[in-house]
Amino acid sequence: MDSPLHQQRQALRQHMRRLRRSLSESQQFQASQQLAEHAILYSVIEQSQRIALFLSMDGEINTRPLIARLWHLGKSVYLPRIDPTQPTSLLFQRFTPQTNLVKHRLGMFEPEENADEICSFTELDMVIVPLVAFDSTGQRLGMGGGFYDRLLAGWQKTSVFPIGVAHDCQHQENLPIESWDIPLPAVITPNKLWQWPDKEA
Ligand SMILES: Nc1ncnc2c1ncn2[C@@H]1O[C@H](COP(=O)(O)OP(=O)(O)OP(=O)(O)O)[C@@H](O)[C@H]1O
Ligand SMILES: [Mg+2]
């Protein structure tokens, strides 16, 4: 657990989280608007109907402007919830302007439980994932829970397309990688669409 690689990843997480939290309110606002404007023009999003997203925290790029645009385009938006029957897994629940959000014990908001609105991972067209850092090969470093690595393991065998969203400053040339890390085929930032076609299905 406390291997040099683990320590290096932890130090990098701290550094990158501090960096994204240090963006001013107006930088954060502008970045989030720009991200939303670019993302809806991205062909994979245009072609997707069921799109999972996350609600931002800890300086993450604000996904609310993108969610609002997706709703406006008639897309179905889903948010992750920790699966109560299997707390290492995520499940997805429909998110509409009418959905009640409740504060989860880890501090994030999630949709109030409604079994009728659950969608399994493989029924999604696209999952937009959070990240702490990403590199020039599509590798990602998350918050350290392994939730998205477990979720995305074998995604190429499904019809779900994962993409990351992040501030431009979350890019690092090369991340220290573990064997279980799942790289992304695309990352959208306010200023760039990163794509790694060799990681597509
Ligand atoms: N496919 C998997 N099966 C079982 N455990 C896994 C799997 N993928 C990752 N893990 C475990 O999850 C833990 C955290 O992984 P890691 O440090 O890569 O998290 P992360 O990618 O930063 O987090 P997240 O995926 O939640 O954004 C590790 O201890 C790892 O063993
Ligand atoms: Mg990982």
Beta bridge partners of 82: 90
Distance CA 42, CA 60 (A): 20
Flag whether pLDDT at 54 surpasses 70.
yes
Instruction: Provide the mean pLDDT of the chain.
Output: 95
Percent of the chain with pLDDT over 90: 92
Flag whether pLDDT at 200 surpasses 80.
no
User: Among 117, 150, 135, 113, which residue's Cα sits nearest to residue 187?
Assistant: 135
Flag whether pLDDT at 20 surpasses 60.
yes
Q: Which atom from ligand 1 is nearest to the alpha carbon of 141? A: 22
CA of 88 to the centre of ligand 2 (A): 14
Ligand nearest to the CA of 142: 1
Q: Got the DSSP string for 170-186? A: GEES-----TTPPPPSE
What are the tens digits of pLDDT across the range 89-148? 999 999 999 999 999 877 889 999 999 999 999 999 999 999 999 999 999 999 999 999
Instruction: Say yes or no: CB of residue 147 within 6 Å of ligand 1.
Output: yes
**How confident is the model at residue 201, as a pLDDT?**
55
User: Among 38, 46, 128, 122, which residue's Cα sits nearest to residue 80?
Assistant: 128
**How confident is the model at residue 2, as a pLDDT?**
86
**How confident is the model at residue 106, as a pLDDT?**
75
Crossing angle, helix 25-39 and helix 64-72, to 10 degrees? Answer: 30
* Domains in the chain with CATH codes: 4-199 (3.40.50.10420)
**How confident is the model at residue 99, as a pLDDT?**
97
**What is the pLDDT confidence band of residue 33, given thresholds at 50, 70 and 90?**
very high
Q: Got the DSSP string for 50-118? A: EEE-----TTPPP-HHHHHHHHHTT-EEEEEEE-TTSTTSEEEEEE-TT--EEE-TTS-EEEPP-GGGE
Region 23-30: what's the mean pLDDT? 98
Q: Which atom from ligand 1 is nearest to the alpha carbon of 180? A: 8
Residue ID of nearest Cα to ligand 1 atom 15: 146
Instruction: Say yes or no: CB of residue 117 within 6 Å of ligand 1.
Output: no
